[in-house]
Amino acid sequence: MSRVYSIQRGVVSTRYVVSEATLQIFRENRMNLLQRLLNDPENADLILSVIYDNGLQSYDTRVRWINFMRSWAGFTGEEMSDEELLEQTRNKLFDYPQKKQD
């Protein structure tokens, strides 16, 4: 309500108010996604498997990890290939590059 009044008075622009509302919705959605991530036991099992059990060696775990990362980070296949995503995971989590699998 106060934002509408501020727009009418010319204190803030409509563009600013719309941008602010969009950012608030984005933050809320991101928080909901994070809560779902943390509350889903399957996600925890997947993350622990990748980190502690070197789960990326298993085809099924790799597929689950790629799908998980794409849904969580919003990467599309055009932005990052599956191989690049796996390589980045290995580099970030294990701090060393893995040999490429043929």
pLDDT tens for 49-101 read 888 887 788 899 899 998 888 887 777 778 888 888 888 888 887 765 555 55
Name the residue ranges covered by the structural domains of the chain.
1-39, 41-102
> SS in 3 state form for the chain?
CHHHHHHHHCCCCHHHHHHHHHHHHHHHHHHHHHHHHHHCHHHHHHHHHHHHCCHHHCHHHHHHHHHHHHHHHCCCCCCCCHHHHHHHHHHHHHCCCCCCCC
For the whole prediction, is pTM greater than 0.85? no
